Structure 1
Amino acid sequence: MSLMPTPLPKTQPYWDAAAQGKLAIQRCGDCAQCYFPPAPVCPYCTSRNVAWEEMSGRATLFSYVITPSPWPLWETTAPMSVATIALEEGPRLLSTVVDCEQSPTRLVIDMPLTATWRKFGGGPKLLCFRPAGEAA
């Protein structure tokens, strides 16, 4: 069993950007909304005029849980956060917060974060977030 992501044709631009340490998601050319996960049609206005765009990597912590057990397939040690991250550009996505004690005293809702990339196990580098600015 593998918990590693499998790039698909519709997600390949995301993985190509990730390989360069960049965060790319789709933006609608008609309504200007960014969205994630990728789709050929804008979820806001149903336009097909969508393109991949590099994002700033700035975000905030929207919500999280802390897993009490390690993820052996990802070669992690406990605990680890599973977090909903709100990108500065609008979309929310699931990730983890790294370079920070995994506790409610350190993982504070609305804390500023910045994108980073980490390798877990034998898979590709995955999008994570670390505390930014004073939160670091």
Structure 2
Amino acid sequence: MKDRRQIGAIAYSHDAEAGLRILLVTSRETGRWVIPKGWPMKSKLPHQAAAQEAFEEAGVEGSIAKKAAGTYRYPKTLRNGDVVSCRVKVYPMEVKKLASKWPEASERKRRWFSTEDAAAAVVEPDLAKIFLSIGQIVS
């Protein structure tokens, strides 16, 4: 079975006291910690679509890299109950602004994590590896 393609944003911030932090959101279905992600958009380049997802799902605005930091796979359950394998290309996004209102605010929680805690919070091993190496990618 061929992987379906998705794009995602790793929203991060450099904090003088806390260091490099990653913003995660809860998934709508299971409530587990994930990054903002979605399907490619015909009218946008992949990194632009990832930035759009970051705003819709986490209320973040900032500068997003044009080059992906890596990819990971996960099983997605579709609305009809089918499960498909998705390969997500992830783009680092430095957060400049956190909106107090955003499209999916009532459906998700968002929280800052250290890179290590973010890696421990997600279930996808390849995504966790990207979190642990993000310091070299964005520095």
More strand by share: 2
* TM-score under structure 2 length normalisation: 0.26
Between Structure 1 and Structure 2, whose CA radius of gyration is higher? 1
* TM-score under structure 1 length normalisation: 0.27
Q: Which has the higher contact order (CA 8 A, sep 6+)?
A: 2
